[in-house]
Structure 1
Amino acid sequence: MPATEPVRLGRKRALPSCPNPLFLKWLTELRDEAKEKGLKIQYTYQKVQRMYVLPCKTNKHQHILSDQGKDGGGDGGRKKKREYVPQKRSGGYAVLLTLYKETQVPGSKGYMFKMELQAEAQHLCDKSFTAPDLGSKYTAWSSVSTLIQKNLVIKTHNPARYSLTEGGLTLAERLASAEQTNTDGDREAVRSELEATEEDDAVSCDVDDVRSSGKPQDSQTTMTTSRKPNAECLLPGTYEIMLCVDFIETTGGSHHRKQELVKELQRNGVNFDIRKLNVGDFLWVAREKVAPVAGQLRAPVGRELVLDYIVERKRMDDLCGSIIDGRFREQKVGVQCNHSIVVDGFFVKRVQDVRESAAYLTIMTRFLTKLYQNRTLICRSRELEGDGGSDEEERGLPSCSLMSFAEFNHGAVKNKCQTVREVFARQLMQISGLSGDKAAAILEHYSTPHSLLTAYEQCASEAEKEKLLSSIRYGKLKRNLGPALSRTVYQLYCTQGALT
């Protein structure tokens, strides 16, 4: 019979049921609180309660507990807030990079206006900054509000100026660095492919043939990447004529009638784009042809120059109403502000219905395509005097100077913040017989209503007040305004009761 082990007699020391009772109490409270709120983190707290069975002497040992963080805090299980980083090729991504590149330019003003920011950032974004996608009301510009909320971009002044904050500058610098790295990687890949292709072609070619084939044989390509001697010019064949339709003509009102216009243009094969136009309902632009870039959903948007043709579509009753209330004159002034060659004598084309309107626009598009097919287009700002000379004109080649669409549309904004001087000029021009030249002459002496009223108060008699403006000269011939017009202005601004 084998020897048995001696039986030990005595009391057994009771072991604590929980090695970490204080931490267990905290975790239980956190678990119950999370359970009441319906948070999934309750399961994490429950799991941590059974994770570590050895006693923790200090809260420095608490980081051993799973998912509780290294700082020993009770809220270590909560997720840290992720840093906002805009998606590549999105609107916010393009805006940050564009503002960052602007800050890197020597002598930069440090901010950008909306129109120039949209124009410069468009090639970095897959979506349009001006026109929403089909079935959506948002554009790429909508993401700017998110950048402002995240304190990455700051908006100041009126008109609005957009600039980067310190946080936005740091994030944009990282995005630019990543973009440069990707670009360098793509260039290396393309260079490797070209070298491999040249090695394959060298098997069936002489050395002289390889040396002479440094450029593609097809030199008649229509993409601007192969022929772009001047960044301010669009050579023949490097652009296409496109009709721009104001989005008001396709939305609101009689939806069926306005959609019929779009369908007619599509049926006629017209190349058109729907966007917001600040002047006119239809106009034509010369859009630069740009080759698609590998890895991008959409091809970069080329430059756009506005042709000297604008169409304002009106019904007869609407035309009569606009003449009566002065909107017709305001629209003519809007066109004159953007194209100085237009003075008056607008051509009126009468059409019966929407189908005839679409037919007229189709014919005009084809006519302009043929008219500009052999012309070199020069991008020129409205701030420069004259058309200026060009190499094409010196060589006898047909060319013309046009304004960019971004500058054209920005210069025709109707809801821009107006100064007191501009509002005063509008008031004066509402008086019968007081033209723009006469209003400008009055503004040279009295730029605001307050200055004019002050001058009236300094006059000694009523007769002197009525003749205050009569001797002001206007126009090229320097004629006097006359006593009749001066008396009318005085009665308008100084009559206490109702005007008779």
Structure 2
Amino acid sequence: MLVNKIIITKIKSLLEAATKAKLKSKFIYKKILDEFTKFNKPIISKTQIKNIPNVGTKTLELLCEHIETELKKVTNNLEDLEKYKLFFQVKDYNELKEKFLESEKKNFEESENKKYVEISHFDEDFFISDITGSDIEMVTIDFKKDCLSFSQPNPNLNEDYKVKANKVKLVEDKKNFNNIKNSPLAKKKQLKKYIPGYKTGPYAILKALWLENGISKHKIIQIAKNYSTTEFDLTSRNSAWSGMKTLIDKNFVYKESGSKKYFITEEGLTTANKLFFDTSIIKNTDTEVTLLIDSREIKNRNFRSFFQGYFENTGVNFETRQLEVGDFAWIQNEMICDFIVERKCGSDFVSSITDGRYKEQKNRLRDTGITNIYYLVENLKISDFKNISYETGCQSLTTTKLEGMTVIETDDIKESATVIENIHNRVKNVQDGNYKMSYGSFIEKGSKNKNMSVNKMLFYAFSGIYGINNEKARLLTEHFKTFKNFYTISLSKNLRTELVNSGINLSKRNIDDIIHFMCKDTSN
């Protein structure tokens, strides 16, 4: 609760200053102070502060700057640094990490030297000058001959020999220690332990495998790209994926022989637990629900993301990630909650019906396994219906409702944001371990063509044609089996006859549309 105390102390000082100056801001500071006083969870991130009611952008910046300053004074080791690293600037974090690693290295060397602390109390030069060559030779011969071990001296040896033997032994021990200490093996052991830099490629990859172990390269990238400031551009030499080689070299990750899957090692898991536990992810203790916003979900290209700005002002806890399916989803402890939203503006909704995306996207939403699917249509106007009738659009929405999805129509983007906020509050109220899958599995399921069989691709092709429902698409897929069979028949000019005689209840309009969209009427 250290950060909580720092914040409360700072707010009290701001409140006192505002009261003395008779500023109106004193009322805001009083409200903020009350909120932080009631807040009974340890604050570990800036997002938690941002979500406190009445904390604006300027107050947030002021508090974060003060917290970092105070934490620098009390952070004395690597463990504390990792615990509070979300409050540090990346540059400051890396500098402090280097400092603590050097300190750990120094402590290690000092602990090794303590093993020979007795030696350091003797004057080696005194030993050498006090013992002549003949003495050493005599002591060596007689000592080895007459003693079972250094710890069991022969009682018959006179005291001078025993003293000189001890001196020679200590000198030799110290020389042996220095030789061992300077050996390549010892130097290798003294090297500082590797820790990936914050938000680097290795950091992101390690976090992806920590979240979901034993996954493919594609899946690692899908998860890791959300935790790295470097792009996973496989065409670039400086791609974040090059960090995988570093992790393998450091024995943090290994690739299973004969497989395309990567696994985290025991050493890598130990480091990952230190890096990620109690920081950005707190398993089984972090009850905060986070709204995920698709990074492509923006109002227009000339302004920053509309929804991000809206939710920042309303205090909704959110993150921006590129979602493979849907436009909004919710996450808790890196587990996907049972809610998802697909948002369509009116004109895009109409065009998706004509080009087949409408059904394809609905199928992908269902394939995630999420139960509560919201289909949000924004600013739908009569003028949007150019290629299809208004009745057809209404029928499509009705069909979507009958399929178990919740259809919501809004007038503008602001009303859409309000609806999302209401859903967010509902998720927070009902969410209690009701997870569908991990975030990594969600990304994998959402990928359009991941492990999609030829049979399923043919099904989606048929179902994307207007007038072809799922049942007709299934029967057509069973009839033709593959694209190759379909196009072989179409090239033989017998496609229309084949469709008529297929036994499937297809209208003339259905047959015409199949021929038009699938093969541009090559059968005529």
TM-score above 0.5, yes or no: no
Shorter-chain TM band: 0.3 to 0.5
Q: Provide TM-score, normalisation by structure 1.
A: 0.44
Report which of the two has the higher share of helix. Answer: 2
